[in-house]
Amino acid sequence: MHYMKGWIRGLAVVLCLAALASCATKEWPWLAQAEKEAKSFTAEPDMSLIYLYREKPLSPTFRVGIFLDGEIIGALDTKSFIVCRVSPGTHEIASRETETAHLTLETEPGGLYYVEHNYPDMMVPGSRTGLLVAEAAQAKRVIRNLGLMASACSEVVGAG
């Protein structure tokens, strides 16, 4: 009887994992295609693209909520990025965690903008979490090695 319970539990775990794998497989082609398009770094003439990325983790599983113009758009995980297609103009970007970081970004038509989310250096007194505008060439090198996170922005990226 004891072996039967273990076998049933094992079967239940296998079935749950199979169901999750099925869901992930259905989403994977879409996310892979979106990541490929995002990493082409192609500007649209009347829109702006904002790349938000997190290269350095505080902890491997610590996700950071990202807000664009007051609305939550998603979370940045370790070694990840989000890309948002926005109308040109002034945009407010924020991350909220133990402390809030803000950045005001002025975008122009056809512009590509790179914003790095960084954490305080625990070895530097007074160091704080921040959102920093990054230099394009360096940001592209970093983003090529990161994974795209699905976000509220995902549906419109590449929809020109």
User: Residues 96-153: pLDDT tens digits?
Assistant: 766 688 999 999 999 999 999 886 555 555 556 689 999 999 999 999 999 999 888 8
Classify 158 in phi/psi space as left (phi over 0), alpha (psi -120 to 50) or beta.
Answer: left
Structure tokens at 32: 């892979």
pTM: 0.75
What is the DSSP-derived secondary structure letter of residue 34? H
Closest CA to 48 of 93, 117, 101, 106: 106
pLDDT tens digit string along 29-60?
778 888 999 999 998 899 999 999 988 765 55
**CA 151 and chain centroid, separation:** 7
What's the pLDDT score for residue 90?
Answer: 97
Q: Tell me the backbone φ, ψ of residue 32, rounded to 5 degrees.
A: -65, -40
Q: Is the dihedral of CA 31, 34, 36, 38 positive or negative?
A: negative
Are 44 and 111 in contact, with CB atoms under 8 Å apart? no
Q: What are the strands, taking DSSP E only, across 41-99?
A: 48-54, 64-68, 71-76, 80-86, 89-96
**So where are the chain's domains?**
39-148
What is the DSSP-derived secondary structure letter of residue 87? -
The partner residues of 79 in beta bridges, in order of sequence, read none
Residue with tokens 């295609």: 33
Fold type of domain 39-148: Immunoglobulin-like (2.60.40)
Are 144 and 81 in contact, with CB atoms under 8 Å apart? no
